Amino acid sequence: MLRKDVRGRLIEHNWVDIKDKISNPSQTLKRFRKEIDVALDDMALLAKKLPEDNLQNMFTPKNLGLLLYSILYGNDPRYSLDEEMYSDIDYKVRRVQLAALMAKTGINFCIEIYETKIEHNSILNEPIINQLKKSIEICDEIVAKMYMPQVQSTANKNNLHYLFNGAKIIDTYSKRMDELRNDNVKKFVEFCYQHLGNVPPIVEIESISRDGINQYGEDIKFDLVDEYGTHIVGKLAMDLEASINTATLYDDELKPVIDLVLRKENGGWYIYEEID
């Protein structure tokens, strides 16, 4: 879209820094607007006419996310997205991911504007912000549900058994098991008890904390209580440095109990157990 020399200037400098060095900056801006219109029209035409398998690697969360973020936040360097997290996905799932990405990016921007420009009082703005954040959670949950067939396919191809999404395990304190609504927390507790506990079953979560940071990623520390009051303590150490890596369950003496497969994809940390 941009001429090579103009692209090079804009990569190195902001428009404010270079406009005075251009002979006719207003004409250049008009040309930019025309080029943007043409580029967007061409993108829309490609999206309409190309088959889904060709579009799979053209309109991605990485490139569209960068576009959306740049439009809303300008030159802020915070945005980054690991393309490996979104590779090799059914196109219907990809479209849901893109829809959720656009919604979440816009909602996060609205939250920032609301709490910094409209209502500064945290007591007054909390209900609105919580509703907006709930919308983001709903978008994430829709994507997660759509992605589950892909998770099962990965498990079948690699002789694995899917356990839970480590990214969806939230800090939980003094909670009875029959009060839990988070399926990933339930599955995590069941897995820990399976490898560390004995009968009787777990009835309460004293604490599940994701505060711990290890050398390569994050620790999920837990204290579970069975119906006799016995505490089952340990941690799950997750290595998040690669797209495919490991997680390890440790007991209360920090002895490794079992190594697991961790796949960082779809914005989550999908954890599997190898099948013998």
Q: What are the CA-CA distances from residue 230 to residues 6, 27, 32, 203, 207 (Å)? A: 68, 76, 68, 10, 14
Rounded to whole angstroms, the Cα distance separating 98 from 134 reads 18
Residues near 165 by Cβ (< 8 Å), separated by ≥ 6?
A: 144, 184, 268, 269, 270, 271
Average pLDDT over residues 172-176: 95
Maximum CA extent, the chain: 82
> Per residue in 93-122, pLDDT tens?
888 888 998 999 999 999 999 999 999 998
Return the pLDDT at 81. Answer: 56
- Residue 256's DSSP bridge partners are 250
Q: Rounded mean pLDDT of the chain? A: 86
Q: At 92, is the pLDDT very low, low, confident or very high (cuts 50, 70, 90)?
A: confident
> Per residue in 213-249, pLDDT tens?
766 788 999 999 999 999 999 999 998 776 668 899 9
Distance of CA 230 to the CA centre of its chain: 35
Q: What are the CA-CA distances from residue 189 to residues 4, 93, 125, 183, 276 (Å)? A: 56, 29, 35, 10, 22
Tokens of 37: 């219109």
- Ranges 47-51, 91-95, 180-184: which has the least confidence: 91-95
* Domain boundaries, given as residue ranges, for the chain: 161-274
Q: At 75, is the pLDDT very low, low, confident or very high (cuts 50, 70, 90)?
A: confident
